[in-house]
A = this chain, B = another copy of it.
Amino acid sequence: MTYLRNCWYLVGWVKELDEVGWFARTIAEVPLLIMRTVEGGVSALLDRCPHRFAPLSCGKITDGQITCGYHAITFAADGRCLDNPHGAAISALTVPSFAAAVGHTGIWVWIGEQALADPATIPPLDLITRTPASAGLHGYEQIAANYQLCTDNILDLSHADSLHPTSLGGGATTRAQFTVKEHPDRIELNWFAPSDVAPPALDALLPEPNNPADVYLRAIWYAPSVMAVTLGGYPAGHRERGNPETWGIHVMTPSDAGKTHYFYWAGRNCLVEDADLTAMVAVMLQAAFAGEDKPMLEAQQSRVGSTDFNALGPALLRTDEGSVRVRRRLSKLIAAEAACAEREPA
């Protein structure tokens, strides 16, 4: 399928790289090898030897170099051939490389036109680094569903009331006032439920749990599939009595048309030193995302199949406005990119 190419895709968390030094992951049908450079930077190479196409990730990767396992040609982390035991290090022996940047504890890769890759356009998820490490958690799941179904899931957070009733739901989002606002660089969704029941994960942080709260929820979408969610609340009408907020970053990176890398991060603005609480939240979120969202999204995918979602004629509700606008915006971006590519063929 056709993906947006001139954009940053989150390809993994920095801590994944730190654990093993490199990893291989397919993004928008492009197999990538992500590794550390000798200078400690990060590089992204096509995970395919230019010689005879063995995956570089089947070779030996050390000290910012890769030696292909098939015929022992060695490449630098930037793709240049360092050593060809069978002749000269001709320029054809260069591994295609992609701009890679570290930002917000993640590794971002630009698979489109390389000259356009500007790290300043990585979605602004500064929240992640502004949160003390003890209050933040990182997660990753693979989902056998199209990334747009995964994005839709976060764009209608009322689903938490039915799918995650004991953790993130409870009913307030379904009852909330809901608005969608388009900005040039993002689409913002807001829910506000005055004097309602806070979702369990928020309620536990309120000064007086089990009491009416003014609950607010915000989801901001950045192209193609990055979302920042804020869930906050306070004793009904009394913001001054304490205003805990929890934050969730949800990034749905397409692997192929039917598979998605789901990266998530969660943090909060209170009890930030309580690493035990963070560990409990991590377990709760994994149960929700891997145990509740993933099976539902995969079942939904099985019913949609390879048909275009809108061609099936979904019964769109007010709660789908975020998804409708995001899908429309993304389609336009992809179409514009395709039109552009046609005018200037490679």
Task: For residue A165, give the distance in angstroms from its CB to the closest CB of chain B.
Answer: 9
Residue A102 at the B interface, CB < 8 A? no
A317–B84 CB distance below 8 A:
yes
Residue A302 at the B interface, CB < 8 A? yes
The B-contacting residues of A in range 56-107, CB under 8 angstroms, are: 58, 67-72, 84-87, 90, 92-93
Cα A300 to Cα B58 with chains together (Å): 9
Q: Which residues of B sit under 8 angstroms from A318, Cβ to Cβ?
A: 86-87
When A50-B315, A152-B52, A158-B86 are in contact, do A69 and B163 touch as well, CB less than 8 Å?
Answer: yes
Q: Which residues of B sit under 8 angstroms from A31, Cβ to Cβ?
A: 303
Cα A49 to Cα B87 with chains together (Å): 55
Residue A184 at the B interface, CB < 8 A? no
Residue A320 at the B interface, CB < 8 A? yes
A159–B87 CB distance below 8 A:
no
Q: Could you say which interface size class chain A belongs to? A: 35 or more
B317–A70 CB distance below 8 A:
no
Cα A295 to Cα B303 with chains together (Å): 29
B158–A52 CB distance below 8 A:
no
When A71-B156, A174-B86 are in contact, do A314 and B162 touch as well, CB less than 8 Å?
Answer: no
Q: Which of A52, A93, A158 has the most CB of B within 10 A?
A: A52
Residue A250 at the B interface, CB < 8 A? no
Q: Which residues of B sit under 8 angstroms from A161, Cβ to Cβ?
A: 72, 85
Q: Which of A51, A295, A309, A316 has the most CB of B within 10 A?
A: A51
Cα A303 to Cα B53 with chains together (Å): 6
Residue A319 at the B interface, CB < 8 A? yes
B159–A299 CB distance below 8 A:
no
Task: For residue A266, give the distance in angstroms from its CB to the closest CB of chain B.
Answer: 22
A315–B92 CB distance below 8 A:
yes
Task: For residue A211, give the distance in angstroms from its CB to the closest CB of chain B.
Answer: 23
Task: For residue A124, give the distance in angstroms from its CB to the closest CB of chain B.
Answer: 29
Q: Which residues of B sit under 8 angstroms from A304, Cβ to Cβ?
A: 53
When A71-B156, A159-B70, A303-B54 are in contact, do A85 and B174 touch as well, CB less than 8 Å?
Answer: yes
Q: Which residues of B sit under 8 angstroms from A152, Cβ to Cβ?
A: 52
Residue A14 at the B interface, CB < 8 A? no
Cα A303 to Cα B156 with chains together (Å): 37
Partner of A317, one of B51, B53, B300: B51
Q: Which residues of B sit under 8 angstroms from A47, Cβ to Cβ?
A: 303
Q: Which residues of B sit under 8 angstroms from A300, Cβ to Cβ?
A: 52-55, 70
Q: What 0/1 readout, one digit per residue, does chain A (308-326) give for beta carbons within 8 Å of chain B?
A: 0100101111111000000
The B-contacting residues of A in range 160-215, CB under 8 angstroms, are: 161-163, 174
A296–B174 CB distance below 8 A:
no
Query: Could you list 20 further interchain pairs (A-B, Cβ under 8 angstroms) beyond the known A52-B300, A70-B159, A72-B162?
Result: A47-B303, A50-B314, A51-B315, A51-B317, A52-B152, A53-B312, A53-B314, A54-B296, A54-B299, A55-B299, A55-B302, A58-B295, A69-B162, A69-B163, A69-B296, A70-B296, A71-B319, A72-B174, A86-B158, A93-B315
